[in-house]
């Protein structure tokens, strides 16, 4: 059968010549000594939601980038509607009807939502008409966006919505989604599932990568599982349990997170005292009268819908944004509200931002260079008398790699060469390796597999039980309930009291997230109305 070159002759959407919309046959992709895909086969039908599962580094992202034309296979073939096809680049893929929502966003911070979406659409667009279309589609699919908002001003969750809406505007025949719910609230995820089911009912095929196995069971018809770059099996998720799926992914049992002894009340190591921080950003969130104390030995979690002040709160605590009141933030009893991030790191405080690539790590820096970026302000020997000790940085990489199972193709690769989950493990491990007195961590397990999530959560528990204070900002309520000792909720820049985790229900958290704090009593109980 003659092969079609999708760069010059894209498939046009005529009647299927095969029962499969897409077939990937015996795909091999080699990067130096690494075989990222090793003889992988996958088939997907129109109207099917098909999960692609595997640990971080199993080869999932490599395979979908090949399907999307961002990479070319070393060997193997792709078939579209039964016809062999070479997808030369992402533009050719989009012309065929293949769209992709990447795990790492491809957005320009200095441009608006409308301008970013226009860059991905063919031809010249009337920006006013496009803005109206964005508003309509985002509203219909429950993914609200402000077309005129600057990307730099948006939360990670809002940026994810842009990627999804951008794909929907292209009316795809195959939609590839790489961890689409990693930064969405449960309510946003529910709306997304409705959207995906609707698209599937209209005949769109969906290739769905997720580490959240309950949602895979909920919406996916089939699941192909990869391990170490190799095909393991294709199963029906509804016939499996989350545990059996995880076992297939890792080739064994997944570790159970153990909370250990109940948190012992120690002295407060992090204090926010009437923290108020106005924002000059028209789309930002002003922090209002925030009071919070995190004690030695405990994990306090901050829950909330994306864009309600989490980023502003993290920036204020880390020293990336400085307030006017020195005493509004205290570390181990010392006022530090006007200290910068390096000065706060000198106090043995560590920070993990929500955006790992670009904020948490410099993409084109090696891992050892990224170690230096945060360890230079500590006394662990990575920097001595102003000189970088590369052997010490390499030793840290070795420890982090071993403890957190960071998978990489060379000893000291660039950060951008790691899969999203492995980079997350590295960034978290880099900070925990400091054994900080206080750790502030934003979205700790965003985009990581079940095994890696368990490893990170256990490390946070162990750090706290060792006497550190851990403040965790997370949109994953399951994660929050699994490891938090106390839970507070942020809504529109205001923070609720922190309640013991076993005394606040999901319903109460939902009300707080919706901003109905006045309907709760001091102990978190619903007030009687009327």
Domains of the chain: 1-97+175-183+195-254 (3.40.50.300), 103-171 (no CATH), 264-340+469-530 (3.40.50.300)
> For residue 438, what are its two tokens?
């206080």
DSSP 455-504: HHHHHHHHHHHTT-EEEEE-S-HHHHHHH-SEEEEEETTEEPPPEEGGG-
CA proximity to 311, closest of 178, 91, 153, 200: 153
Paired sense of beta strands 299-303 and 486-491, if any: parallel
In a 3-state reduction of DSSP, which class is residue 300?
Answer: strand
> For residue 50, what are its two tokens?
């098909």
**Using CA atoms, how far apart are residues 25 and 284, in angstroms rounded to an integer?**
47
pLDDT for 16 equals 47
pLDDT for 17 equals 54
Helix ranges restricted to H, 43-155:
60-67, 90-96, 113-120, 127-140
In a 3-state reduction of DSSP, which class is residue 509?
Answer: helix
Tokens 């925030």, located at residue = 290
Paired sense of beta strands 387-388 and 334-335, if any: unpaired
Q: Which residues are registered as beta bridge partners of 330?
A: 271, 335
Tokens 């560590």, located at residue = 350
- Give whole-number Cα distances, 285 to 144, 184, 279, 306, 369, in Å: 17, 18, 6, 11, 33
Please say whether the beta carbons of 74 and 30 come within 8 A: yes
Beta strands in 65-195 (DSSP E): 75-80, 83-86, 98-101, 174-178
Q: Which residues are registered as beta bridge partners of 85?
A: 4, 78
**Using CA atoms, how far apart are residues 181 and 199, in angstroms rounded to an integer?**
17
pLDDT in tens, the chain (530 residues): 345 454 533 333 344 457 899 999 999 999 988 899 999 999 999 999 999 999 878 899 899 999 999 999 999 999 999 999 999 999 999 999 999 987 767 788 889 999 999 998 888 889 999 999 999 998 887 778 999 999 877 866 788 889 889 988 988 999 999 888 766 666 677 878 988 998 999 899 999 998 888 899 999 999 999 999 999 999 999 999 988 998 899 887 777 788 766 667 799 999 999 999 998 876 679 999 999 999 999 999 999 877 789 999 999 999 999 988 999 999 999 999 999 999 999 999 999 998 898 899 999 999 999 999 999 877 778 888 788 889 999 999 999 999 998 988 889 999 999 888 899 999 999 999 999 999 999 999 987 878 888 899 999 999 999 999 999 999 888 899 999 999 999 998 999 999 999 999 888 888 888 776 544 444 444 433 22
Residues 6+ apart with CB under 8 A from 133: 169
pLDDT for 189 equals 78
Which value, to the nearest 10 degrees, does the dihedral of the CA atoms of residues 122, 192, 227, 433 take?
100
Tokens 């700790």, located at residue = 444
**Using CA atoms, how far apart are residues 264 and 255, in angstroms rounded to an integer?**
25
pTM to 2 decimals?
A: 0.70
What's the burial of 350, exposed, middle or buried (CB within 10 Å: 0-12/13-18/19+)? buried
DSSP-based helix, strand, coil % in the chain, nearest 5: 35, 25, 40
Residues 6+ apart with CB under 8 A from 3: 83, 84, 85, 86
**Using CA atoms, how far apart are residues 325 and 400, in angstroms rounded to an integer?**
37
Please say whether the beta carbons of 236 and 248 come within 8 A: no
């Amino acid at each position: 059968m003659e092969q079609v070159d999708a760069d010059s002759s894209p498939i046009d959407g005529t009647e299927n010549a095969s029962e499969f919309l897409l077939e990937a046959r015996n795909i091999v992709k080699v990067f130096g000594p690494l075989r990222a895909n090793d003889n992988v086969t996958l088939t997907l039908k129109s109207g099917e939601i098909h999960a692609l599962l595997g640990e971080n580094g199993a080869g999932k992202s490599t395979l979908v980038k090949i399907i999307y034309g961002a990479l070319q296979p070393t060997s193997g073939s792709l078939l579209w509607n039964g016809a062999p096809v070479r997808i030369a680049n992402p533009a050719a893929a989009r012309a065929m009807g293949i769209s992709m929502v990447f795990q790492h966003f491809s957005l320009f911070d200095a441009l608006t939502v409308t301008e970013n979406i226009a860059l991905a659409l063919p031809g010249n667009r009337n920006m006013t008409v496009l803005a109206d279309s964005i508003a309509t589609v985002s509203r219909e699919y429950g993914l609200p966006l402000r077309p005129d908002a600057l990307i730099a001003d948006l939360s990670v969750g809002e940026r994810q919505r842009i990627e999804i809406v951008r794909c929907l505007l292209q009316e795809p025949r195959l939609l590839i989604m790489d961890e689409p719910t990693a930064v969405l609230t449960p309510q946003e995820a529910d709306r997304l599932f409705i959207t995906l089911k609707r698209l599937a009912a209209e005949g769109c095929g969906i290739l769905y990568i997720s580490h959240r196995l309950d949602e895979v069971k909920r919406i996916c018809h089939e699941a192909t599982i990869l391990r170490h770059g190799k095909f393991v099996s294709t199963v029906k998720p509804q016939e499996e349990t989350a545990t059996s799926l995880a076992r297939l992914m890792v080739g064994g049992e997944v570790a159970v997170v153990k909370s250990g002894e109940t948190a012992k009340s120690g002295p407060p190591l992090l204090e926010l005292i009437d923290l108020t921080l106005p924002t000059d950003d028209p789309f930002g969130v002003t922090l209002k009268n925030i009071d919070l104390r995190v004690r030695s030995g405990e994990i306090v979690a901050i829950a909330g819908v994306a864009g309600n002040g989490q980023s502003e709160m993290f920036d204020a605590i880390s020293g990336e944004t400085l307030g006017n009141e020195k005493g509004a933030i205290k570390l181990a009893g010392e006022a530090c509200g006007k200290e910068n991030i390096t000065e706060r790191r000198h106090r043995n405080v560590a920070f993990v931002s929500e955006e790992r690539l670009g904020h948490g790590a410099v993409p084109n820096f090696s891992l050892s260079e990224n170690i230096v970026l945060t360890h230079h302000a500590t006394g662990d020997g990575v920097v001595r008398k102003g000189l970088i000790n590369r052997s010490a940085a390499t030793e840290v990489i070795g420890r982090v790699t071993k403890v957190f199972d960071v998978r990489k193709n060379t000893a000291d690769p660039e950060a951008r060469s790691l899969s999203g989950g492995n980079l997350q493990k590295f960034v978290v491990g880099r900070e925990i390796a400091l054994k900080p007195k206080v750790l502030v961590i934003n979205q700790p397990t965003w985009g990581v597999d079940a095994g890696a999530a368990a490893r990170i959560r256990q490390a946070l528990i162990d750090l706290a039980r060792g006497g550190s204070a851990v403040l965790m900002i997370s949109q994953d309520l399951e994660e929050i309930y699994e490891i938090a000792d106390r839970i507070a909720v942020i809504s529109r820049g205001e923070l609720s009291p922190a309640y013991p985790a076993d005394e606040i229900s999901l319903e109460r958290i939902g009300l707080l997230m919706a901003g109905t704090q006045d309907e709760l009593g001091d102990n978190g109980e619903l007030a009687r109305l009327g």
